[in-house]
Copies of this chain bind each other. A is one copy, B any other.
Amino acid sequence: MTPSKKPHPCQAYCSLKKRNRNIGRLSAIAEIISRDFLTTMPEGAYENRLDQISYLHRRIHDDIVCPDSQAWLEEAQEHLATHPGLWDEWDTANLIETVKRYKNHAILDPDMLEESARIANEGRRVHSLCLKNNDWEMAQAHLERVAVHVRKLAKLKAKSRNSATLYEALIQDYSPGVSLEKLWKWFNHIDTELRILLPQVIERQKMRTPIVSLAGRYDPEAQMWLNRSLLELFGFDFDRGGLYETEHSPVEGGTPDDTRLVIKNVDPRDFMNSMKSALHEGGHGLYIQGLPRKGGSGYQPVSHDLGTTMHESQALLVEMVIGRTPEFFEFLAPRLEGLFHTVRDPSLTAGNLHRRKTLVKPTLDRKGADELTYFFHIFLRFKIECDLIEGKMEVADIPAFWTEWMHDHLGVMPQNHTEGVMQDVHWFVGKFGYFQAYTLGHMVAAQLFDTMQQDIPDLYSRIRNGDFKPITKWLNRHIHSKGSIQPWDELLKDVTGSEPSPDFLISHIENRYLGG
């Protein structure tokens, strides 16, 4: 779906498209400068760069809500209503997305927006410091500032979005169109099912061949070669991007022309950690690179991604769904021997790697969690956010709640805040409402994979041969290249034939961990 080459008959809409292009140019700059800020900038530039980035976001905001934009929007909507025949699907969707963006910004005053940008960029640094010193006091002070700001935002958003609750309003930023009621329904269903599955899986895995621990030290450069090669096999375009290592936090994002993925320090003891991150960020990167970008369409709102749920689905599909199939490890194993200069290493057999990556075992750590217990980590955060935003819980109450919940539900207890409540960067950067999108993304990934298996009949033998490009091609055709032409749930229904449903995820887990 690409824009028509002819100028559109509605003059106001043409003006909007031009403005969109300029906003897109500044937004791309903001994206690149933020990555620099988070990865390679010298420490001493911290305060000023933070201020510069916030200011740039303010200018972008001003351009979005500029009074002539409002006038053009009204005129264009009027034109669409009176001359629907002159509007094709692309332009119609583009106008709808432009209106949405305008409304999302119009409710914010520029000071709040600057504070959001500051928190988003500053929060990562604060998070690093808190982790380094296991400093809950510093974390609490920061999170309280964030909570005040986010509640204020939620109030404005709830009003403009007619949301049932404050928290529901925040969720719209990540999973547009999803009601809190629906989320609770899905999550309670998954919770019920996975609680039944968990002990069965653990019991069954006791009978498996024991896992051989990784023996060696794995040269970080060799690991990065492996990670880059895997992404290349998936069709990631290194002419328009790259994969880098950083001491700081990994960075998602970029633009379709400049998708420099950043993963955190490579662990010399376990190559599977950086591989996991590379596959995850790679899934995001493939989505970004596959978005429409030709002929200036990239700067139009209709060419943007479909939000966090769809984005996470792309990352989890590559990392967890594809990247943990036995066939994936069959492809990987023999190549590892050559790469790491080791032969007949029992820890590097396809079977052992697969057992290692599919081991289900409750742990404290969300990022390192297995595919089954991952959900419980999300559910905990979802509950906390829900209460915190509605004012039923305060930041100071989180650690005790967290510890008790982990003990009661997963039977593990964090020994300190670094292992517990402080592990994730999201709240530090103001992302309340984000976590649910991981589980929704996992649901979407499983649902897409179900259809993909039908569409690509020799899928598993292709994976076994490292022939991953048909996967990306399929995703590109059905998801990436569509931009925001439809809402994510409608697109999912068109592609898979079903409404979004947790049943695909539950079946996927049941098949993978209890099947065969």
A-side interface residues toward B, CB under 8 Å? 22, 25-26, 28-29, 32-33, 36, 41-45, 47-49, 51-53, 55-56, 59, 237-242, 255, 257-258, 260, 298
- A48-B258, A48-B298 known; 6 new pairs, CB 8 Å cut-off, are A28-B48, A28-B49, A42-B240, A42-B257, A43-B239, A45-B240
Residue of B49, B56, B59, B239 touching A42 (CB-CB under 8 A): B239
Q: Could you tell me the distance between the alpha carbons of A298 and B48 in the complex, rounded to whole angstroms?
A: 10
Q: Are A29 and B28 in contact (CB under 8 A)?
A: no
Q: List 6 A-B contacts (CB under 8 A).
A: A26-B52, A28-B48, A42-B257, A47-B257, A48-B257, A48-B258
C-alpha gap A47/B298 in the complex (Å): 13
**B255:A42 contact, CB within 8 angstroms:** no
What residue of chain B has the Cβ atom nearest to residue A37's Cβ? B32
Q: Is the CB of B32 within 8 A of A36?
A: yes
Residues in B with CB closer than 8 Å to A239 are 42-44
User: From residue A474, how far is it (CB to closest CB) to chain B in Å?
Assistant: 23
A255 to B298, alpha carbons, bound, how many Å?
31
Q: Is the interface of A mostly helix, strand, loop or mixed?
A: helix
CB nearest to A299 among chain B residues: B48
- Pick from B29, B47, B55, B242: contact of A33, CB below 8 A: B29
B32 near A241 with CB under 8 A, answer no
CA distance A59 to B22 in the complex (A): 10
User: Of residues A36, A53, A59, which shows the largest number of chain B Cβ atoms within 10 Å of its Cβ?
Assistant: A36
Interface residue from B28, B44, B55, B258 paired with A25 (Cβ < 8 Å): B55
Q: A29, B56: Cβ atoms under 8 Å?
A: yes
CA distance A52 to B101 in the complex (A): 21
Q: Which of B33, B49, B255 contacts A48 (CB 8 A)?
A: B255
Residues of B within 8 A of A36 (CB): 32, 36
The CA-CA distance from A22 to B54 in the complex, in Å, is 11
From the candidates B48, B51, B257, name the one contacting A45 in the complex (CB within 8 A). Answer: B257
Give the residue name and chain of the B residue nearest to A46 (CB). Answer: B257
The CA-CA distance from A47 to B28 in the complex, in Å, is 13
Considering the chains assembled together, what is the distance between the CA atoms of A31 and B512 in angstroms?
52
Please, which residues of chain B bring their CB within 8 A of the CB of A241? 42, 44
Chain B proximity of A300: nearest CB distance (Å): 14
Determine if A258 and B55 form an interchain contact, defined as CB atoms under 8 angstroms apart.
no
A180 → chain B closest CB, angstroms: 38
Chain B residues with CB below 8 A from A59, complex form: 26, 59
Among residues of B, the one whose C-beta sits closest to the C-beta of A240 is B44
Max chain B C-beta neighbours (<10 A), residue from A28, A44, A47, A298: A44
Minimal Cβ-Cβ distance residue in B for A49:
B258
Contact residues in B for A240 (Cβ distance below 8 Å): 42-45
B56 touching A26, Cβ below 8 Å: yes
A43: nearest chain-B partner, CB-CB: B239
- Give the complex CA separation of A506 and B319 in angstroms: 68
CA distance A298 to B258 in the complex (A): 31
Q: Give, as a whole number of angstroms, the nearest-CB distance from A417 to chain B.
A: 29
What is the distance, in angstroms, from A113's C-beta to the closest C-beta of chain B? 15
Taking the closest CB of chain B, its distance from the CB of A241, in whole angstroms, is 6
What's the minimum C-beta distance from A123 to chain B, rounded to whole angstroms?
20
For the complex, what is the distance from the CA of A32 to the CA of B56, rounded to whole Å? 13
Chain B nearest CB: distance from A289 CB in Å?
9
A5 and B140 CA atoms in complex are apart in Å by: 35
Question: Which residues on the B side are within 8 Å of A25 (C-beta)?
Answer: 51-52, 55-56
Measured in the bound complex, the distance between the Cα atoms of B255 and A48 in whole Å is: 10
